[in-house]
Amino acid sequence: MKLYFSPLACSLAPRIALYEAGAEVSYVEVDLKAKRTEDGADYRAIHPLALVPALELEGGELVTENAAILQLIAERFPEAELAPRDALGRARLKEWLSFVGTELHKALYSPLLSAEAPAEMKAYVLTKAGSRLGRVADRLEGREFLLDRFSVADAYLITVLNWSQVTPIDLAAWPAITAYQARLQQRPSVARAMAEERERYARALKRREEPAAAPAAPAPSADR
Ligand SMILES: N[C@@H](CCC(=O)N[C@@H](CS)C(=O)NCC(=O)O)C(=O)O
């Protein structure tokens, strides 16, 4: 398998899941601005929208969309127990994957991180932050994970929450979320994935001759 990723983008989630699973995978970095892979290939020829993540399977099939990729990883590595097996548990997993993908990633963080989104749009999406993050905080109150144990939904949530620090969102308003973040960042798969991608991010910045210091989260851009 091959995971197309961009450092600290939402493709961090499948990397975390793959580390949890102990999967043998090659990781191919994509420059989302240039739309090129690190081997110089035109990424638009691989993914029509040039988005990450994309997971290429052994037979060459390409799977896109984080929710689908994460569930496929969970299914391929059942011993890692990254997804519940019962019907209600699966529904809850899909519920949270959808919530993170739509209410948080695309409806909240993407516009805030975009260099192109107009100020009015950013102000509008910020009006939704309290209710959306409040929902997450309510869920995490008294729980270690979104579901009964670590799942691919946590891999996605921790990835998206990591972007807060380069947005006006101050997670300190939700202690259940900051406690969750602190806990998950200690988890070996998460700690390893974040450390590696921070390094890759710093290298990518350097290549673009921007400040070399590695931030804990990506700088605002049109890429998330
Ligand atoms: N619906 C896609 C969204 C993926 C997405 O937005 N990826 C961002 C990185 S977090 C991206 O590739 N952005 C590049 C761009 O918008 O051109 C999914 O769930 O996988």
User: What long-range pairs does 199-205 form, CB within 8 A, spacing at least 24?
Assistant: 200/7, 200/29, 201/7, 201/8, 204/7, 204/29, 204/31
Mean pLDDT by 10 residues, the chain (224 residues): 98 98 98 96 98 98 98 98 98 98 98 97 98 98 98 99 97 98 98 98 85 54 61
* Residue 30 near residue 4, CB atoms below 8 Å: yes
User: Which pLDDT tens digit goes with each residue over 76-103?
Assistant: 999 999 999 999 999 999 999 999 999 9
* Distance between Cα 52 and ligand 1 center (Å): 5
CATH top-level class of 87-188:
mainly alpha
CATH 1.20.1050.10 spans which residues of the chain? Answer: 87-188
User: Which pLDDT tens digit goes with each residue over 150-164?
Assistant: 999 999 999 999 999
Atom of ligand 1 nearest to the CA of 30: 12
* Distance between Cα 59 and ligand 1 center (Å): 24
CATH 3.40.30.10 spans which residues of the chain? Answer: 2-80
As a CATH number, domain 2-80 is 3.40.30.10
Its pTM stands at 0.94
Residues flanking ligand 1, CB < 6 Å: 9-10, 32, 50-53, 65-66, 101, 223-224
- The count of residues in the chain is 224
